[in-house]
Amino acid sequence: MRIWLITLWALAVISAVMCVVLLSKPADAQTACVPLADLLAALRDKYGEYVVATAETPGGQMFITAAKHGAFTVVIANRGIGCIVITGESFQSDRGI
């Protein structure tokens, strides 16, 4: 039961971060959007990031990629186009799920 609550909490935090990022970006900022297959291949080839989690969203799909060294990227995709939402360091996965 505890792991289930932690998982729900983590998904809620990720959703909240995505909402803040998507709703508060400056007008002159540009989101990096390219064909999803090309984006995932570039993250793999250039940064060593692989898809570690996926989820369905009202607007399409969400992908989280991560590398062994801790770099991660959150991608939102719709109709074959993927957009980078946020990137960061020190990714950790709860393998207890």
Task: Say what the pTM is.
Answer: 0.66
Q: Give the model confidence (pLDDT) of 31-86 as tens digits.
A: 679 999 999 999 999 999 999 999 998 889 999 999 999 999 999 999 999 999 99
14-39: buried (b, 16+ CB within 10 Å) or exposed (e) per residue?
beeebeeeeeeeeeeeeeeeeebeeb
